[in-house]
Protein backbone atom coordinates (compact mmCIF):
# COMPACT_ATOMS: atom_id res chain seq x y z
CA UNK A 1 0.00 0.00 0.00
CA UNK A 2 1.30 3.44 -0.95
CA UNK A 3 0.98 6.27 1.59
CA UNK A 4 2.28 9.77 2.07
CA UNK A 5 5.23 9.75 4.43
CA UNK A 6 3.55 12.12 6.89
CA UNK A 7 0.43 9.92 7.06
CA UNK A 8 2.59 6.82 7.54
CA UNK A 9 4.30 8.36 10.57
CA UNK A 10 1.10 9.86 11.99
CA UNK A 11 -0.72 6.53 11.65
CA UNK A 12 2.01 4.94 13.76
CA UNK A 13 1.37 7.41 16.55
CA UNK A 14 4.54 9.44 16.16
CA UNK A 15 2.69 12.75 16.26
CA UNK A 16 -0.04 14.70 14.53
CA UNK A 17 0.20 15.25 10.78
CA UNK A 18 1.48 18.80 11.36
CA UNK A 19 4.05 17.60 13.91
CA UNK A 20 5.48 14.88 11.70
CA UNK A 21 5.51 17.23 8.70
CA UNK A 22 7.80 19.57 10.63
CA UNK A 23 10.04 16.67 11.63
CA UNK A 24 10.27 15.46 8.04
CA UNK A 25 11.22 18.90 6.69
CA UNK A 26 13.94 19.08 9.36
CA UNK A 27 15.50 15.94 7.91
CA UNK A 28 14.61 13.56 10.75
CA UNK A 29 13.22 10.83 8.48
CA UNK A 30 14.96 8.33 6.21
CA UNK A 31 13.43 6.16 3.49
CA UNK A 32 15.57 3.22 2.43
CA UNK A 33 18.64 4.88 3.94
CA UNK A 34 18.17 8.29 2.32
CA UNK A 35 17.00 11.41 4.14
CA UNK A 36 13.64 12.60 2.84
CA UNK A 37 12.42 16.12 3.58
CA UNK A 38 9.14 16.08 1.66
CA UNK A 39 6.07 15.07 3.70
CA UNK A 40 4.16 14.24 0.51
CA UNK A 41 6.73 11.61 -0.53
CA UNK A 42 4.92 8.33 -1.26
CA UNK A 43 6.24 5.23 0.48
CA UNK A 44 5.32 1.56 0.18
CA UNK A 45 4.17 0.16 3.52
CA UNK A 46 5.30 -3.35 2.57
CA UNK A 47 8.70 -2.83 0.97
CA UNK A 48 10.17 0.52 2.05
CA UNK A 49 12.28 0.81 5.20
CA UNK A 50 11.42 3.92 7.22
CA UNK A 51 13.48 5.38 10.05
CA UNK A 52 12.32 8.26 12.23
CA UNK A 53 14.85 10.04 14.43
CA UNK A 54 17.18 7.10 13.87
CA UNK A 55 14.64 4.41 14.86
CA UNK A 56 12.99 1.96 12.45
CA UNK A 57 9.25 2.39 12.07
CA UNK A 58 7.26 -0.56 10.72
CA UNK A 59 3.75 -0.05 9.45
CA UNK A 60 0.76 -1.85 10.93
CA UNK A 61 -2.49 -1.32 9.05
CA UNK A 62 -4.81 -2.79 11.69
CA UNK A 63 -4.62 -3.69 15.35
CA UNK A 64 -7.00 -5.95 17.26
CA UNK A 65 -7.07 -6.19 21.05
CA UNK A 66 -9.29 -8.11 23.44
CA UNK A 67 -9.83 -6.10 26.62
CA UNK A 68 -11.36 -7.36 29.86
CA UNK A 69 -12.93 -4.01 30.66
CA UNK A 70 -13.03 -3.01 34.32
CA UNK A 71 -15.86 -1.03 35.89
CA UNK A 72 -15.24 2.71 36.15
CA UNK A 73 -13.70 3.09 32.69
CA UNK A 74 -15.70 4.59 29.83
CA UNK A 75 -16.02 3.12 26.34
CA UNK A 76 -14.67 6.12 24.45
CA UNK A 77 -11.56 7.06 22.50
CA UNK A 78 -10.71 10.08 24.64
CA UNK A 79 -12.07 12.11 27.52
CA UNK A 80 -10.52 15.07 29.36
CA UNK A 81 -11.72 13.96 32.79
CA UNK A 82 -12.24 10.20 32.79
CA UNK A 83 -10.07 7.21 31.93
CA UNK A 84 -11.09 5.51 28.69
CA UNK A 85 -10.68 1.97 27.42
CA UNK A 86 -8.13 3.25 24.88
CA UNK A 87 -5.98 4.56 27.73
CA UNK A 88 -5.65 0.96 28.94
CA UNK A 89 -4.08 -0.23 25.65
CA UNK A 90 -0.59 0.99 26.48
CA UNK A 91 1.25 -1.03 23.81
CA UNK A 92 -0.86 0.23 20.90
CA UNK A 93 1.01 1.53 17.89
CA UNK A 94 -1.81 3.24 16.04
CA UNK A 95 -3.60 6.35 17.27
CA UNK A 96 -6.95 5.65 15.57
CA UNK A 97 -8.17 2.77 17.74
CA UNK A 98 -11.76 2.69 18.98
CA UNK A 99 -13.91 0.32 21.05
CA UNK A 100 -16.08 -1.88 18.89
CA UNK A 101 -19.41 -1.33 20.55
CA UNK A 102 -19.94 0.16 23.98
CA UNK A 103 -20.12 -1.16 27.50
CA UNK A 104 -21.61 1.01 30.23
CA UNK A 105 -19.16 2.58 32.65
CA UNK A 106 -20.11 0.13 35.40
CA UNK A 107 -20.18 -2.92 33.11
CA UNK A 108 -17.20 -5.28 32.87
CA UNK A 109 -16.01 -7.84 30.39
CA UNK A 110 -15.25 -8.41 26.75
CA UNK A 111 -14.52 -5.39 24.59
CA UNK A 112 -12.82 -5.48 21.21
CA UNK A 113 -10.48 -2.57 20.50
CA UNK A 114 -9.50 -2.03 16.86
CA UNK A 115 -9.21 0.45 14.01
CA UNK A 116 -10.89 -1.87 11.50
CA UNK A 117 -14.04 -0.05 10.40
CA UNK A 118 -15.18 -2.86 8.10
CA UNK A 119 -15.09 -5.38 10.93
CA UNK A 120 -16.97 -2.94 13.16
CA UNK A 121 -19.70 -2.66 10.55
CA UNK A 122 -20.00 -6.44 10.22
CA UNK A 123 -20.34 -6.93 13.97
CA UNK A 124 -22.41 -3.87 14.87
CA UNK A 125 -24.81 -3.52 11.96
CA UNK A 126 -28.39 -3.93 13.27
CA UNK A 127 -29.13 -6.21 10.31
CA UNK A 128 -26.43 -8.70 11.33
CA UNK A 129 -27.99 -9.67 14.71
CA UNK A 130 -24.67 -10.78 16.21
CA UNK A 131 -25.11 -12.69 19.48
CA UNK A 132 -23.82 -11.03 22.65
CA UNK A 133 -23.63 -13.09 25.83
CA UNK A 134 -23.66 -11.54 29.32
CA UNK A 135 -23.41 -12.83 32.86
CA UNK A 136 -25.36 -10.85 35.45
CA UNK A 137 -26.41 -10.78 39.06
CA UNK A 138 -29.99 -9.69 39.53
CA UNK A 139 -31.74 -8.21 42.54
CA UNK A 140 -34.79 -10.42 42.86
CA UNK A 141 -35.95 -13.95 42.03
CA UNK A 142 -35.60 -14.64 38.31
CA UNK A 143 -38.24 -17.13 37.18
CA UNK A 144 -39.15 -19.34 34.25
CA UNK A 145 -41.82 -16.75 33.42
CA UNK A 146 -39.08 -14.16 32.99
CA UNK A 147 -37.21 -16.49 30.63
CA UNK A 148 -40.39 -16.94 28.61
CA UNK A 149 -40.87 -13.16 28.42
CA UNK A 150 -37.29 -12.71 27.22
CA UNK A 151 -37.85 -15.42 24.59
CA UNK A 152 -40.85 -13.56 23.16
CA UNK A 153 -39.36 -10.06 23.28
CA UNK A 154 -39.95 -7.19 25.71
CA UNK A 155 -41.28 -3.68 25.60
CA UNK A 156 -38.44 -1.56 27.03
CA UNK A 157 -39.86 1.77 25.98
CA UNK A 158 -38.49 1.88 22.45
CA UNK A 159 -40.43 2.00 19.21
CA UNK A 160 -40.04 -1.74 18.78
CA UNK A 161 -39.97 -4.63 21.21
CA UNK A 162 -36.65 -6.34 21.72
CA UNK A 163 -35.78 -9.32 19.59
CA UNK A 164 -36.19 -12.69 21.31
CA UNK A 165 -33.40 -13.31 23.84
CA UNK A 166 -32.22 -16.45 25.63
CA UNK A 167 -32.25 -16.21 29.42
CA UNK A 168 -30.52 -19.00 31.33
CA UNK A 169 -31.12 -19.02 35.09
CA UNK A 170 -27.94 -20.20 36.81
CA UNK A 171 -29.15 -19.54 40.35
CA UNK A 172 -32.45 -18.11 41.52
CA UNK A 173 -32.86 -16.36 44.83
CA UNK A 174 -32.81 -12.97 46.51
CA UNK A 175 -29.77 -12.35 44.32
CA UNK A 176 -30.16 -14.37 41.13
CA UNK A 177 -27.37 -15.29 38.73
CA UNK A 178 -28.13 -15.52 35.05
CA UNK A 179 -26.66 -15.71 31.57
CA UNK A 180 -28.46 -13.86 28.80
CA UNK A 181 -27.91 -13.84 25.05
CA UNK A 182 -29.19 -10.87 23.08
CA UNK A 183 -28.94 -10.12 19.36
CA UNK A 184 -29.08 -6.34 19.48
CA UNK A 185 -27.11 -3.55 21.08
CA UNK A 186 -29.64 -1.03 22.33
CA UNK A 187 -28.78 1.53 24.99
CA UNK A 188 -28.65 -0.15 28.44
CA UNK A 189 -30.53 -3.05 26.87
CA UNK A 190 -29.93 -5.82 29.42
CA UNK A 191 -30.66 -3.49 32.32
CA UNK A 192 -33.84 -2.24 30.70
CA UNK A 193 -35.02 -5.76 29.89
CA UNK A 194 -34.81 -6.74 33.53
CA UNK A 195 -36.49 -3.50 34.56
CA UNK A 196 -39.34 -4.52 32.24
CA UNK A 197 -39.89 -7.66 34.35
CA UNK A 198 -39.59 -5.77 37.63
CA UNK A 199 -36.00 -6.58 38.55
CA UNK A 200 -32.66 -4.79 38.74
CA UNK A 201 -29.24 -5.67 37.34
CA UNK A 202 -26.63 -5.14 40.06
CA UNK A 203 -23.64 -6.59 38.19
CA UNK A 204 -23.11 -7.08 34.46
CA UNK A 205 -20.26 -8.63 32.50
CA UNK A 206 -20.03 -9.39 28.79
CA UNK A 207 -18.64 -12.85 28.06
CA UNK A 208 -18.93 -13.19 24.29
CA UNK A 209 -19.56 -11.23 21.09
CA UNK A 210 -20.16 -13.29 17.98
CA UNK A 211 -17.47 -15.97 17.88
CA UNK A 212 -15.16 -14.03 20.21
CA UNK A 213 -15.14 -15.26 23.81
CA UNK A 214 -13.53 -13.49 26.74
CA UNK A 215 -10.24 -15.16 27.64
CA UNK A 216 -10.72 -16.65 31.12
CA UNK A 217 -7.04 -16.01 31.88
CA UNK A 218 -7.34 -12.29 31.16
CA UNK A 219 -7.53 -10.39 34.43
CA UNK A 220 -9.87 -7.44 34.82
CA UNK A 221 -8.25 -4.42 33.15
CA UNK A 222 -5.82 -6.57 31.15
CA UNK A 223 -5.73 -6.99 27.37
CA UNK A 224 -4.02 -8.97 24.64
CA UNK A 225 -3.91 -9.08 20.86
CA UNK A 226 -6.39 -11.34 19.12
CA UNK A 227 -5.02 -14.63 17.90
CA UNK A 228 -5.00 -15.41 14.19
CA UNK A 229 -7.74 -17.99 14.77
CA UNK A 230 -9.96 -15.54 16.67
CA UNK A 231 -9.59 -12.92 13.95
CA UNK A 232 -10.31 -15.38 11.15
CA UNK A 233 -13.46 -16.54 12.95
CA UNK A 234 -14.69 -12.95 13.32
CA UNK A 235 -14.00 -12.13 9.67
Q: Is 104 a catalytic residue?
A: yes
Q: Whole-angstrom Cα distance, residue 232 to residue 230?
A: 6
Q: Strand, coil or helix: what is 10?
A: helix
Q: Whole-angstrom Cα distance, residue 198 to residue 177?
A: 16
Q: What is the CA radius of gyration of the chain?
A: 22
Which listed residue (48, 104, 168, 215) is catalytic? 104
User: Which residues lie below 8 Å from residue 14, measured CB to CB, with a gap of 6+?
Assistant: 20, 23, 52, 57
Q: Residues with catalytic annotation?
A: 104
Amino acid sequence: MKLRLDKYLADMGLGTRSEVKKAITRGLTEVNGAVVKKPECKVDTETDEIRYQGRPVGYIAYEYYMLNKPAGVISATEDPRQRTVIDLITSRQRDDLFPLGRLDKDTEGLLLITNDGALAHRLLSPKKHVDKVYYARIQGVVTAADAEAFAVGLDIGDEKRTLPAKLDILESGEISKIRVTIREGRFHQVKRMFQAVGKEVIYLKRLQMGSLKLDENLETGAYRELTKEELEALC
